[in-house]
């Protein structure tokens, strides 16, 4: 009997020394709805008022518009019917702001991953036109 009492007391004491922790639920909904910027590249700016872009749209310097690099623009025989035209992109630059812009043109000289922007958009994303170029993360919305 003493052995049983001893074992029960030993069990009770050992349970009291075990640390109790609770598992926190995973934020599955938040993780699934969060979209990361998947494309890394450089931003430059150009004179959007120089003419109609490859999507057939005339833009002004105050518009938040971009020209996508030739490799990712998917131009066909008629660039005005390009599925990327009028599509939105979300851009994150050195200032940490997430800015949305519209695709209106193709940048034939831009490497893969790069965007050419209106001057007002470049200032929002990169901070200053004097930079000429800045690193960005972006993706199609």
Residue 21 lies in a domain: no
For 66-91, the pLDDT digits (tens) are 999 999 998 888 777 889 999 999 99
Q: Is the confidence at residue 27, as pLDDT, over 80? A: no
Residue 82 lies in a domain: yes
For the chain, the domain total comes to: 1
Phi, psi of 125 (to 5 degrees): -80, -45
CATH number of the domain bearing residue 42: 2.40.40.10
């Amino acid at each position: 009997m003493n052995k049983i009492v001893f074992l029960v007391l030993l069990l009770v004491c050992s349970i009291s020394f075990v640390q109790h922790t609770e598992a926190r639920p995973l934020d599955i909904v938040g993780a699934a709805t969060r979209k990361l910027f998947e494309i890394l590249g450089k931003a430059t700016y150009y004179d959007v008022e120089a003419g109609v872009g490859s999507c057939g749209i005339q833009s002004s310097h105050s518009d938040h518009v971009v020209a996508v690099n030739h490799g990712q623009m998917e131009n066909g025989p008629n660039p005005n019917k390009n599925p990327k035209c009028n599509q939105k992109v979300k851009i994150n630059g050195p200032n940490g702001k997430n800015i949305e812009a519209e695709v209106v043109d193709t940048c034939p000289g831009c490497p893969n991953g790069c965007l050419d922007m209106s001057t007002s958009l470049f200032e929002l994303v990169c901070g200053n036109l004097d930079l000429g170029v800045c690193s960005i993360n972006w993706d199609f919305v």
